Amino acid sequence: MPLLGNTLELLKYKNIAEYLKGVQSKYGDFCEIHFGFKRLLIISNGDVAHPIHTSSVTLSRKFLYRDLKNPGLDEMGIENSGIVFNRNLDEWKINREFVERIVRSRNFLRMIAGKTYEMATDMFKLWDILINDQREIDLSKWLEKFSGDISVTTITGLPAYSVHTCFNSLGYEDNCDNLSISERELSSKMISLLNSFFKTAQWFSLVPPFIRHAPGISFFNGKLSKLIKDFEVFLIEIIQKRRAEIDLLSETTLQSSDFLTLLLTVNTSHGIELHSHKSLNRSLNDYEIFGVIRDILFGSVETVTTSMCLVFYNICKYSSIKSKVLTEIYTIFGHSNSSNFLYEDLEKLSYCDALIKETLRLNTPFPYLPRSNNEPVEVGGYLWEKEQTFILHYQGININKNDWIDEEIFYPERFLRSEDNEQSMNASKVNAREAFATFGGGARVCPGKHWAIIEIKVLLVAVLMKYEIEFVNKDQGLDMAFDVSYHWRELKIRLRPRMQET
Ligand code: HEM
């Protein structure tokens, strides 16, 4: 339709994610749609996505932008800082390299696993009180707080309190004696500013400037701009305080391994060295660190919450899969519910790993994201000028019937590798990894994918070793809402302490 393009088609669907499924079945795996003057090239197939998702640096360096310039995101300051939307490619490369070096380190991943286990055990003490009082647990609420607390603690090193606040909101009083009032306030403020930041980003990216700055609306826009500024001031204060603390330490006394401390100490006598490239032969300044911390917080909370809920949903839904997971957990960790928890053992949980991947294949937290080319490229057999918007329809790639056998069937075994064959058992592609797009691919692939899987795995092991878990409502479905990613509305479960075998 002239001017509007495909915009009216959207009205037939619940949300954009559902619309993209419709687009795939109507127009195929690679097609072009128009929203007003904006052209979107939708990719729903791993082969077409290959030049973007490949690990080949020669190809993927042509797709370095997240998207075209967006005046709203620019106004928010996120096109020139951090990682996710940064269009300043020199800055993005440096920030990304620093992040990758930290999140790939075994010590850091070990810290993530340890903290997740410790905080899960802490949450279980509150759950035990609820179980004793025969109360149901809405996992979607609890895991949102849990994953927020883990992110705040592992990323900033601050203690986090929202799981305890959730408990108190149910009419209990948990004093959480080990935290001072100011520490509690700091972590709650961070979570609340982070949530506002999510919502604000949608407003700024979707609403055109002439509407945002129109009389009557500009006041609201100004309030949201203030929230963004408050978040920046808040994080920068934390960064400066930590920097000052580190400066006072002698070389040997640095104990913390949280992300912020590691980032502040890269290329200093306290931290890891990163001299592989000349531009990395320095430390990040406070504003650069702010951008990175903001984006890592942004990337890690909602996605992990949704994924954890999805995994428990499948555990409750498929009892045979729950049995296989338990057998594997007992084989690796034994039957005693001890805290003798080794990070190295997590790597042996291949069935749990397969379960998580299959869960995230069929229900992709980010069903799509944009990527844009910084050079002319060939995609899908056509040549494209630079600065196109390619929409990587991860959900469509993940269930593409050309790549997956029984693509709609939940079958974790497809991700297990047989002894004599590196290939997944139930994908028809030679390189099945390219058909699994949940974490994107290529130059901007999610840097937190191992981090996320470790958090989910640790929680899965910790919960199943301690509790029997079942739905409150036997007909529980996927009760999720969508904005830019999926998140659960409600997932009520009933827990019973698991009888320990002697
Ligand atoms: C299950 C959980 C997660 C899912 C499904 C997920 C998914 C994604 C996807 C699809 C992308 C876009 C990749 C691309 O363009 O090719 C992305 C990017 C990103 N993710 Fe994740 N993510 C998850 C967890 C995390 C965690 C725990 C972190 C914390 C480090 C994180 C940080 C980021 C960042 C910073 C980017 C931007 C990368 C860039 O533009 O260079 N994500 N994520």
Ligand 1 proximity of 369 Cβ (cutoff 6 Å): yes
Residue nearest to atom 29 of ligand 1 (CA): 448
Residue nearest to atom 6 of ligand 1 (CA): 439
Which residue range(s) make up the domain with 110? 7-497
Atom of ligand 1 nearest to the CA of 485: 5
- Residue 76 maps to a domain: yes
Structure confidence at residue 246 (pLDDT): 87
303-320 tens-digit pLDDT:
999 999 999 999 999 999
Torsion angle of C-alpha atoms 166, 169, 172, 176, degrees rounded to 10: 50
Contacts of 37 (CB under 8 A, 6+ apart): none
Which CATH number goes with the domain that contains 77?
Answer: 1.10.630.10
Q: How many CA atoms lie within 13 A of 234 on its CB side?
A: 21
- Residue 502 maps to a domain: no
Token pair recorded at residue 128: 């035990």
Largest pairwise CA distance in the chain: 73
Nearest to 378 by CA among 27, 30, 25, 39: 30
Residue nearest to atom 32 of ligand 1 (CA): 299
- Residue 463 maps to a domain: yes
Sign of the dihedral through C-alpha 179, 185, 186, 187: positive
How far apart, in whole angstroms, are the C-alpha atoms of residue 225 and residue 197?
10
- Residue 196 maps to a domain: yes
- Residue 136 maps to a domain: yes
250 Cα distance to chain centroid: 35
What's the pTM?
0.93
Contacts of 127 (CB under 8 A, 6+ apart): 137, 142, 467, 495
Atom of ligand 1 nearest to the CA of 394: 10
Residue 432 has pLDDT above 60, yes or no: no
pLDDT band at 429 (very low <50, low <70, confident <90, very high): low
How many structural domains comprise the chain? 1
Residue 131 has pLDDT above 70, yes or no: yes
Q: Which of 439, 460, 482 to mutate to test the pocket of ligand 1 (most atoms within 8 A of CB)?
A: 439
Instruction: Kindly report which listed range (283-287, 424-428, 476-480) carries the lowest average pLDDT score.
Output: 424-428
> Mean per-residue pLDDT for 350-357?
95
Residue 207 has pLDDT above 90, yes or no: no
Ligand 1 proximity of 437 Cβ (cutoff 6 Å): no
Ligand 1 proximity of 49 Cβ (cutoff 6 Å): no
Ligand 1 proximity of 96 Cβ (cutoff 6 Å): yes
CB atoms within 10 A of CB 443: 23
Atom of ligand 1 nearest to the CA of 364: 5
pLDDT band at 270 (very low <50, low <70, confident <90, very high): low
How far apart, in whole angstroms, are the C-alpha atoms of residue 150 and residue 120?
9
Q: Which of 296, 446, 482 to mutate to test the pocket of ligand 1 (most atoms within 8 A of CB)?
A: 446
- Residue 1 maps to a domain: no
How far apart, in whole angstroms, are the C-alpha atoms of residue 266 and residue 101?
10
Give 276 or 115, the one with higher predicted confidence: 115
- Residue 99 maps to a domain: yes
- Residue 87 maps to a domain: yes
The kind and range of the H/E element at 486 are strand 486-488
